[in-house]
Amino acid sequence: MIFVKVNEDFLSHPLIKENTISRRDYQENIFINCLNRNCLVVIPTGLGKTIIALMLTVQRLTEIEKSKVILLAPTKPLVEQHYNSFLKLTKLPEESLITLTGTIIPEKRKQLWKGIRIAFMTPQVLQNDLISNLYSIKDVSLIIFDECHRAVGDYAYCFIAKKYRENVSNMQILGLTASPGSTEGKINEIKDNLYIDHIEIRTEKDLDVKPYIHQVDNEWIKIKLPSEFLEIKRILEDKLRSSYKILKENDLIDSYDISKITRKDLLKLNNLINKRISAARDDDHKFQLFNAKKITANAIRLSHMTELIETQGISSLKDYFKKNEEKIRKNTANKSLRELFNDKDFKKVQKLTYDLYSEGIIHPKIEELKKILINQINKNLDSRILVFCHFRDSVNNIVKFFKENDIIKMHKFVGQAKKGSDKGLTQKEQIRLLKEFKEGIYNTLVGTSVAEEGLDIEECDLVVFYDVVPSAIRSIQRRGRTGRKKEGKVFVLMAENTRDEGYYWAEKTKEKNMKVSLERIKNSEIQSRIGQSNLLNFISPEKHGGTDSIEQNTTDLSSIKKVDVAGDFEIVCDNRETASPVVRALSLMGVNLKLEQLQVADYIISERVGIERKSAKDFNDSIIDGRLFSELSELGENFSRPILILEGNPFKVSNISENALYGALTSIIVNLGISIYKTENSIETAQFLYHLAKKEQSFTKSTIKLRFDKAPIEISQLLEYIVAGIPGVNTLRAKSLLKELKTLQNIFLSDIPDLTKIENIGKKIAQEIYRISRFKYKNSS
According to the model, what pLDDT value does residue 100 have? Answer: 94
User: 655: closest CA among 293, 298, 339?
Assistant: 293
Instruction: List alpha helices for 250-330, DSSP H.
Output: 263-279, 283-307, 314-329
User: ∠ at Cα 58 (52, 62), nearest 5°?
Assistant: 150
Element (H, E) at 679: strand 675-679
CA distance 179 to 708: 47
Residue ranges, the chain, pLDDT below 70: 1-12, 20, 22-23, 420-421, 454-456, 458, 484-485, 526-556, 653-655, 700-713, 779-781
Count how many residues are written for the chain. 781
Q: CB-based contacts of 603: which residues, under 8 Å, 6+ apart? A: 571, 572, 573, 574, 577, 610, 611, 613, 689
Instruction: List alpha helices for 449-498, DSSP H.
Output: 472-479
User: ∠ at Cα 454 (451, 459), nearest 5°?
Assistant: 75
Q: Would you report the helix, strand and coil content of the chain in percent, each value rounded to 5?
A: 50, 15, 35
User: 582: closest CA among 568, 599, 602, 564?
Assistant: 602
Q: CB-based contacts of 753: which residues, under 8 Å, 6+ apart? A: none
CA distance 774 to 24: 79
CA distance 584 to 589: 9
According to the model, what pLDDT value does residue 69 have? Answer: 97
238 three-state secondary structure: helix
Q: CB-based contacts of 627: which residues, under 8 Å, 6+ apart? A: none
**Residue 731, amino acid:** T
User: 735: closest CA among 745, 722, 748, 751?
Assistant: 722
CA distance 99 to 112: 10
CA distance 313 to 493: 13
